[in-house]
Structure formats: C-alpha cells, structure tokens
Chain A
Amino acid sequence: MTAIDAQGTVAAARARRTPRQKRDARVAYVFLAPFLFLLLLFQYVPLAMMAKNAFMDYSLLNPDAAKFVGLLNFSDMLYFDDARESLAATFLFALGVVAIVIPLGFALALFLDSKLPARGIVRTIIMLPVVTSAVVVATMWNFLLDPSNGLINGVVTAMGLPRQPFLTSPDQALVMIAIMTAWQQVGFAAILFLGGLQGVPKELAEAARIDGATKAQVLWNITIPLLSRTTLFVVVIMTVFSLQAFAPAFLMTDGGPRDSTNLIVYHIYKTAFVMQNAGYASALSVLLLVIVLGISLLQMWLLRARWNY
C-alpha cells in the first residue's frame, strides 16, 4: 500500500509539474527563436551550401545553371599550382605574424604588468592600431611603404641606406604585410598575455627570489612555463586571424608581385567574384575551413588537461 501510495504521490507531483515545465519550455524557445533562426540561416545553411557547391561548376551571376562535376574542383586544386602557392604564401604570412607578435606581445605585457611609469600611455598607444580598421591600416602602410615618398624610405635614406622597393618586390612584399599585420595585432596579443600574467600567482616568483634566483631565472623557469596555456592560445588566435587576412592583399599588392602575396581569402574572393568560378572557390573555402577547424581542434586537444598551479 505504502509503495503504491508513494508512487501515486510521485506521479501526481510529476503531473503537477508538467504544465509549468511545458510553459517554461515554450517560453525558452520563444526567447531563443530569433537567435536560432538567424544562426541556422546564416551559419548552417551556408555551411551546407558550401559543402554541396564544392562539387559543382557554376558562377555567381547565374547560380541556377550549376553543373555537378564530382571531385573535379578538388583534383584541379591538386593539378594546378594556384591553391598550393596561395596556401604556402598564407602559411608563411601567418608564421611571420606569429613570430613577431609572440615575443613582442609578451615583452609589452611584462612592461604593462610592471610598476614602471608611463604604463597607461603605452597601453593606450599599442591599442590604437588594434581598434583601427584593416582598411585604414593597409592604406596607411601603402603610403608609409611608398618607394619614392613614403615615410619608411624617408627613415631608410636618413640612415644612409638605399631606397627599398618594398611592396613591388617579390622578396619583400610578403614580409612587409606580415610586419604590418604584426604591428596592428601586437597590442591585442599584449592584452591577452597581460591577462595570463595577472593570473599567475606571485608567491612562486617571490619564493624563488628569496631562494636566490635572479629575475631572468624567474622569468625563464617560472613565468614562461606557467604561461604556456596563454601562449598557445595567443599563437592559435594569431594564426587563425592571419589565415583569414584579406585587406593587405586586396589594397596593397593585388596578390602580387608574382602571386607572392596571394593570400587564400583573397584568392577565394577573386576566384568567386572576379573570375566567376564559384564552384572552385567553394572547394578552396572547404580547404580553408578544414585547416582552421583542424587548428582549433588541435588547440582544444592540447588544452584538454588543465594543468593547474
């Protein structure tokens, strides 16, 4: 009897709760509906379309006349050099940006974390390029790097060196846009490193100092290892950001000279919107997506263990 009674009470309680739960669920979906609708329409639908279009041959001027071509776009990607060269330039570019941004961003963060004067001003000044648009930065550097009247050649000649061609040289163009992008992003990296530094417990460093470690030893053996998660995070952010760079190639070099700065997003843009080969551009986009997803998943896998201090 008691068992049945208890069951009856539970069932009754469940029945009593249900209308309210149902109402809550309805309210929840009403609150979520606009967000989810736009998310599906502008993220998942394009994703599905891209997967399909990578196997089609079509132009954006007349997308209804698309023709199924199987793996042709992907075999073209292997057969012709453009995708390989564009990816090589993009990775080299990303590598250059990361190689400059990580040490300089870290040094700036150490400075901002110290008790030295003028920290506030430095913090503001290094953030100016971060809040400036990629278009304005590219325009600004276009003129800074101008072979005849640019400011940088003004500095170069003032030091008694010969004028440099910069963006018109196949050897210098990619290096220059990597330096420019690093210049723009280093403040952002410094802010991220600063967040990491402020999370490191000070006791460890203090204890090591009392035991006679030099400041350099503390930095190298305690601070830098403790910041490995932050560092990996910043490396991934800067890499993913650089892989998606567009404005430098579009505004400064047109992907040249001799395709040396033909960054992958610029290549996709030109293929789809200028050459009207949207199927091939979709295949290139799939490749970019897979690379970026791979990097993000690798990061999540590397950060899976929360080694705590």
Chain B
Amino acid sequence: MARFRKPLLLAAVLALILVCFFAPFLWIVSNSFKPQLGIFSDVTPISWRTFLPLDPVAENYRSLFARTNILHALLNTAIVAAGQVALTLLLCSMAAYALTRIKFRGSQAVFVLILLTFLLPVEALLVPLYQVVSGLGLSNTLTGIMIPWIASPFGLFLLKQAFEELPRDLEDAARIDGAGHLRIFVSVILPNVKVPLLTLGLVTFLFSWNSFLWPLVIAQSPDAQVIQVAIAQQGSPTQLPNWGETFAGATVATLPLILLFLLLQKYFTQGMAMSGIKG
C-alpha cells in the first residue's frame, strides 16, 4: 500500500483505530473511578479529562461489592468455567482418541453423527434444552449451566485434527512394550498435543465466561447466578442512576479475560480463527 508509506497518513489511521477500538474501554474504566456528576460533566465538552480520572475514587467498587452479589457471581463463573474447561478437554480428547487411533466398525457413523451437530444453531435449541435440563432437576445449579456444552463438536474437531497429525510410530513402540489404549492415550498421545489442548481450553474458557442467554434462562436464582447475568441486571442508563457502579461491574467482569488474553494472545487468536469453523 504505497499511500500508507506516508508516515502522517499512517499515524492518522493508527489514531483512528486506537480511538474507535480502545477509547470506549478507556472511558468505561476511567469512569468506574469517578463519582456520578464527574462522569456527566466530563463528557461535554469532550477533552482528555473525559478519559482520565483526575481524582480517582474507589466508591463505585466499594458499593458494587457491598450492595450486589457480584463476588458470589464471579466465584460461580470461575467454577463453571473451570469445570467446563476440564470436562470438555477430557471428553473431547477421549472421543478424538477413539476416532483417530482405533479402527472399529461404526466409526464413520459416529463421526457423521457428531458432524451433523456442527450445523445446529445452539440458540434455536434454547426452549427444548431448557426443558431437558430442568427436567433433570438441574435448573439453578452450576452443573446445569455447563453440562450441555461439554460434548463440544468444535472441541472434538480441533483435537481430532491434532491427533491425526501425530505419527503412528509414536504409539507403536509403546504397544510393542505391551501398553494398552489407556496407557497410550495418557502417556503417549496427550503429552504431544499440549498446544491444541491449551487452545481449546482457552476458547472454552472464553465461551463459558462470556455466555449469557443460557445461564439467563437456566439459572436465575441469586445463588447460581453467573457474572454476565449479574451485570446484565444492573440495568441501563435510564433505569439505574448509578453509572459508576455499572462501569465498575463491567470492568470487574472483563478484566480477568483481558488479562488472560494479553498473556496468551497467540493461542487465543489461533483458537478464535479455528472456531470460525463452527460459526
């Protein structure tokens, strides 16, 4: 792009990208440290003051944690996300092992059965899924929030692809030594797919932490509420007078993910690019 060589134009484009994608985040975070009136008076006229808390106050955070059950919701979300990641990795890698490393009759049929669910839009199954999960007595439980998503066709595909790339020789030596499938799975295959496992774990964590519609319908009670449902109930600008507290809630709900993303950006991006397969 020859015209981009002009440094001035490049700087302008960069500034535009920065303003469009970063300024809203900065506005939210800095406002979470301002009293209500400060937020309003700093918006018009717009200036650098709009994006910086000159006299930061912790009041919004104090009242957020004292007044709402956000801490409990954060804990719930962490438990759900951790459980979902662990079980998704376990079930998907076991299934991927069977489909790639064992020859058996019916493997094609099983694969097609899984392939077909790839095409199902999850939101369309909302109503019957609610009936199944609440019929099992799992409404308002953390198990009910995570259990429908553990058998993830995306996870299976990602790991199946990774397993297929491993050479046969790897397990042949172990087999000659008399190792069974469980041994080969645990001590030969799994140690060689650490990166795909990490990628799938991250995408699953992101999906779980951010999910909203399903927890909203299946776990309304305050005891089982997750973070997204909790901050959604903080309301809109017209319903709720306290902007700062809402901004503090949004910051608290997003910060763990952003930190994780910044730390492991490469794997995150890889996983997101692959999750495109699912759409």
> Which residues on A are within 8 Å of B, measured CB to CB?
21, 24-25, 27-29, 31-32, 34-39, 41-47, 49-50, 53, 60, 63, 108, 110-111, 114, 116-118, 122-136, 139-144, 146, 149-151, 153-155, 157-158, 183, 187-188, 191-192, 195, 215, 233-234, 236-237, 240-241, 243-244, 246-247, 250-252, 265, 268-269, 272-273, 278, 281-282, 285-286, 288-289, 292-293, 296-297
Most buried by A among B27, B153, B273, B276: B276
Contacts of A151 in B (CB 8 A): 23-24, 27, 43, 46, 50
In the complex, identify which listed stretch (B53-61, B116-124, B190-198) lies at the interface while the others stay far away.
Answer: B116-124
Is there an interface contact between B1 and A281, defined as CB atoms closer than 8 Å? no
Expressed in whole angstroms, the Cα–Cα distance for A131 and B256 within the complex equals 11
Contacts of A111 in B (CB 8 A): 1, 4, 13
Contact (A140, B24) CB under 8 Å given A36-B95, A133-B228: yes
Let me know if B108 is at the binding interface, CB within 8 A: no
Most buried by B among A39, A53, A296: A39
Is there an interface contact between A43 and B254, defined as CB atoms closer than 8 Å? no
User: 1/0 per position for B89-118, CB-CB distance to A under 8 A?
Assistant: 001101101110011111100100110010
Is there an interface contact between A195 and B273, defined as CB atoms closer than 8 Å? yes
Contacts of A122 in B (CB 8 A): 14, 17
Expressed in whole angstroms, the Cα–Cα distance for A34 and B250 within the complex equals 36
Of B4, B125, B150, B185, which one neighbours A47 at CB under 8 angstroms?
B125
Name B45's closest neighbour in chain A (CB-CB). A158
Of A24, A110, A149, A252, which one neighbours B1 at CB under 8 angstroms?
A110
Name A141's closest neighbour in chain B (CB-CB). B24
**Given A60-B127, A111-B13, A244-B122, 11 new contacts (CB under 8 A):** A31-B181, A35-B151, A38-B91, A38-B150, A125-B21, A128-B261, A131-B268, A132-B210, A252-B236, A288-B123, A289-B120
Q: Which of B150-172 contact A (CB under 8 A)?
A: 150-151, 153, 156
Is there an interface contact between B212 and A134, defined as CB atoms closer than 8 Å? yes
Expressed in whole angstroms, the Cα–Cα distance for A42 and B84 within the complex equals 15
User: 1/0 per position for B45-81, CB-CB distance to A under 8 A?
Assistant: 1100010000000000000000000000000000000
| Distance (whole angstroms) from the CB of A116 to the closest CB of chain B | 6
Q: Which of B119-141 contact A (CB under 8 A)?
A: 119-133
Is there an interface contact between B126 and A272, defined as CB atoms closer than 8 Å? yes
| Distance (whole angstroms) from the CB of A32 to the closest CB of chain B | 5
Is there an interface contact between A285 and B102, defined as CB atoms closer than 8 Å? no
Contacts of A195 in B (CB 8 A): 273
Dominant secondary structure of chain B at its interface with chain A: helix
Expressed in whole angstroms, the Cα–Cα distance for A130 and B234 within the complex equals 22
Is there an interface contact between B125 and A135, defined as CB atoms closer than 8 Å? no
Q: How many A-B residue pairs have CB under 8 A?
A: 281
Of A36, A129, A192, A285, which one neighbours B110 at CB under 8 angstroms?
A36
Let me know if B231 is at the binding interface, CB within 8 A: yes
Contacts of B46 in A (CB 8 A): 151, 154-155, 158
Contact (A191, B236) CB under 8 Å given A35-B92, A240-B121: no
Expressed in whole angstroms, the Cα–Cα distance for A27 and B28 within the complex equals 53
Contacts of B276 in A (CB 8 A): 188, 192, 233-234, 237
Of A32, A131, A142, A234, which one neighbours B257 at CB under 8 angstroms?
A131
Contact (A191, B273) CB under 8 Å given A38-B91, A244-B121: yes
Name A149's closest neighbour in chain B (CB-CB). B40
Contact (A45, B132) CB under 8 Å given A140-B24, A269-B217, A272-B127: yes
What are 11 sample pairs from A and B whose C-beta atoms fall under 8 A apart?
A24-B104, A25-B105, A38-B150, A60-B130, A125-B22, A130-B272, A136-B254, A139-B246, A265-B123, A272-B126, A289-B120
Contact (A127, B261) CB under 8 Å given A50-B125, A142-B236: yes
